[in-house]
Structure 1
Amino acid sequence: MSYKNFPMVPRVIFGRGSFNQLNDILEPKRLNSKAPFIFLVDDVFKNNAWLTSRIPLAYDDKIIYISAAEEPKTSQVDELVEDIILTTKERPSGIIGIGGGTLLDLAKAVSIMLTNEGETKDYQGWDLVKNEAIYHVGIPTISGTGAEVSRTTVLTGPEKKLGINSDYTPFDQVVLDSELTKDVPKEQWFYTGMDCYIHCIESLEGSYLNAFSQSYGEKAFDLCHEIFLDNNLSDQESQEKLMMASWHGGMSIAYSQVGVAHAMSYGLAYLLGTKHGIGNCIVFDHLEEFYPEGVKLFKEMKAKHNVELPQGICASLSDAEFDIMINVSLGMAPLWENALGKNWKSIMTPKKLKSLYQKM
């Protein structure tokens, strides 16, 4: 039997205010004065001097502000790579992503595509990347997605929504400064936190479960329970714990896989552009049949934080549109196998999947 030889993030710095050490971290990695660091930053920070004034720019370094309003696309990665190649004298010293899952995934993808030929869509899948990415750093400003720790970068392409899963995808360095998450809007905090919670449930209930995944998944689950259902945490404790829940949740799926909610939310994202966190919540709300205990707790968390999920997002879809969503979702074979076992196709038929989508 052969085992997965799994790459991890080799360096991580954790602590409130650790963002201030970014210059010390980056400077030794600068190749020369003509090889800039490119900072991909969520454009919500554009006029936020508290964060942007602390980005250590020197020489030809530059900040590219990017909207996270939509899920990241392969075409967007291609445009960024082309822009960087055309406007820099030499290949960059590194790519630094500052933001939520969208920005972190873009940073991972851009760093890969600067050293690999062709178009980004050609690398959607497992282990298709040939050349090592350039140095890349992830700095989450919102917690839950696990993008800071995973070996995938999830992208919507012309044909499918699928990650670049490779040994070259994980960040070389991650900066976990929970202070950067202090201004996250409440609903956003809930949706990305639930992304983490759903990672745990799907990993822990899946057929791929092993002791490695279980140890991380259980820790992340306990942290989510404490953050979203207990009353006695300060804001600072809550921010730090959610940052660690995100890390552990990402690690829990490293050696296993996610399940039904993620597979279905990929369909929503591809067809309707539904953002990942909220998409997972909309789907998970209807999955009692597969995750009875997990959904029950989710509904408790939702009620406690007065979160109202959008209803009827699939109400006016045509049969052809349902088919597109169903095909994208059923294309995620490892997720379905983890959730439902080897003969998942006889359980999750297109008809069954359609009936689930129709509830949403």
Structure 2
Amino acid sequence: MNYKNFPMVPRVIFGRGSFNQINDVLAPKRKSINAPFIFLIDDVFRGNPWLTSRIELAYDDKIIFIPTKEEPKTEQIDTLVEEIILQAKERPSGIIGIGGGTVLDIAKAVAIMITNSGEAKDYQGWDLVKNPAIYHVGIPTISGTGAEVSRTTVLTGPEKKLGINSDFTPFDQVILDSELTKDVPKEQWFYTGMDCYIHCIESLTGTFLNEFSKSYGEKAFELCKQIFLDDTLSKRDSQEKLMMASWHGGMSIAYSQVGVAHALSYGLAFLLGIKHGIGNCIVFDHLEDFYPEGVALFKKMKAKHDIELPQGICANLSDNDFNTMIKVALGLEPLWENALGKNWQNIATPERLRSLYEKM
């Protein structure tokens, strides 16, 4: 058997207020006065000096605010890379992503594409990246996606929604400061937190399960139950626990895989542009046949936090639309094999996927 030799994030700072160490972390990594640091920051922080004033820009360093209303696209990566390369006198010293899963995935993809020729869509898949990325740092401002720890960067391309999965994708440095998550709106907090919860359910019930992924998945699952069902937790404790649940949830799929919910939500995102967290929730709500206990607990959490999911999003779709979503979803073979085993194609038929999408 050929065991995966996968990389982990080599350096992590954890602690409330640790974002204040950003300048000390970056200083020794500067290659020259002509090699800037590029900060990709979630647009929600535009005009918010509470965060940006703590970043000491020097020489040609630059902040680029990233809109996050839509999922990241391959063409967006290509545009950013071109802009950075044209404006910098030398190859940048590093890319720093500050935001949610969208911004973190964009930062990872940009860091890869600065050193690899062609377009981002050419690298959607598994282990297609040839050259190491430039130095890149991830600083999450919302918890749940696991993007801060994963070896993938999920992108919507012209033909598919699929990550750049490679050994060069993970960040070189991560800063986990739960204070940065303090202003996340309730719905967003729930949807992104449920992304972590669904990671746990899919890895813990999958056929790829092993003791490595199980140990991380079980810890993340326990944390999610505390965060979303325990009334005695303080807001601060909840923020810190969700930050660690996200980390462990991301690690739980590093040596296994996600499953049915993620595969189907990729279809929704590709066709309808539905964001990852809420897309997972919409799908997972209908997956009792695959994850009976996990869905029952999800519905309990949803009721407790008074979350109303969108209904009827597939009501007016054409046969063509359904076929597009089904094609995208079924293209994610490792996810289906993890969820259903080697004979997954006998269970996840186009007809069955169509009937699931029709319920949403």
Classify the TM-score, shorter chain.
Answer: over 0.9
Cα distance in 2 for partners of 1:236, 1:352 equals: 43
Cα distance in 1 for partners of 2:58, 2:201 equals: 44
Residues 110-153 of structure 1: CA deviation (Å, up to 9, x unaligned): 00000000000000000000000000000000000000000000
Partner in structure 1 of residue 325 of structure 2: 325
Cα distance in 1 for partners of 2:58, 2:104 equals: 22
Give 1:198-347 correspondences, 5 Å limit: 198-347=198-347
Number of aligned pairs? 360
Unaligned runs of 5+ in 1: none
Q: What SS does the aligned partner of 1:39 have?
A: strand
Cα distance in 2 for partners of 1:56, 1:160 equals: 38
Q: Does 1:193 align with 2:177?
A: no
Cα distance in 2 for partners of 1:165, 1:243 equals: 23
**Matched residue type, 1:338:** N
Cα distance in 1 for partners of 2:241, 2:31 equals: 36
Q: Does 1:170 align with 2:149?
A: no
**Matched residue type, 2:209:** L
Q: What SS does the aligned partner of 1:12 have?
A: strand
Q: Does 1:151 align with 2:151?
A: yes
Partner in structure 2 of residue 11 of structure 1: 11
Partner in structure 1 of residue 59 of structure 2: 59
**Matched residue type, 1:339:** A
**Matched residue type, 2:307:** V
Residues 219-276 of structure 1: CA deviation (Å, up to 9, x unaligned): 0000000000000111110000000000000000000000000000000000000000
- The sequence identity of aligned pairs, in percent, is 81
Q: Does 1:82 align with 2:89?
A: no
Partner in structure 1 of residue 40 of structure 2: 40
CA shift, 1:159, in A, is 0.6
Cα distance in 1 for partners of 2:66, 2:322 equals: 31
Unaligned runs of 5+ in 2: none
Residues 61-114 of structure 1: CA deviation (Å, up to 9, x unaligned): 000001110000000000000000111111100000000000000000000000
Q: What SS does the aligned partner of 1:329 have?
A: helix
**Matched residue type, 2:162:** L
**Matched residue type, 1:120:** A
CA shift, 1:56, in A, is 2.0
**Matched residue type, 2:117:** E
Q: What SS does the aligned partner of 1:6 have?
A: coil
Partner in structure 2 of residue 28 of structure 1: 28
Q: What SS does the aligned partner of 1:358 have?
A: helix
Residues 144-170 of structure 1: CA deviation (Å, up to 9, x unaligned): 000000000000000100000000000
Partner in structure 1 of residue 355 of structure 2: 355
Residues 193-236 of structure 1: CA deviation (Å, up to 9, x unaligned): 00000000000000000000000000000000000000011111
Partner in structure 2 of residue 113 of structure 1: 113
**Matched residue type, 1:194:** M
Give 1:107-146 correspondences, 5 Å limit: 107-146=107-146
Q: What SS does the aligned partner of 1:143 have?
A: coil
Residues 5-48 of structure 1: CA deviation (Å, up to 9, x unaligned): 01000000000000000011000000011100000000100011
Give 1:90-109 correspondences, 5 Å limit: 90-109=90-109
Cα distance in 2 for partners of 1:222, 1:233 equals: 14
CA shift, 1:2, in A, is 1.3
CA shift, 1:55, in A, is 1.4
Cα distance in 2 for partners of 1:217, 1:88 equals: 42
Segments of 4+ moved more than 2 angstroms? none
Q: What SS does the aligned partner of 2:320 have?
A: helix
Q: What SS does the aligned partner of 1:216 have?
A: helix
Cα distance in 1 for partners of 2:338, 2:93 equals: 39
**Matched residue type, 2:6:** F
Cα distance in 2 for partners of 1:280, 1:2 equals: 31
Cα distance in 1 for partners of 2:158, 2:344 equals: 26
Cα RMSD of the aligned pairs, angstroms, is 0.4
Cα distance in 2 for partners of 1:216, 1:203 equals: 10
Q: What SS does the aligned partner of 1:342 have?
A: coil
Q: What SS does the aligned partner of 2:317 have?
A: coil
Cα distance in 2 for partners of 1:55, 1:359 equals: 47
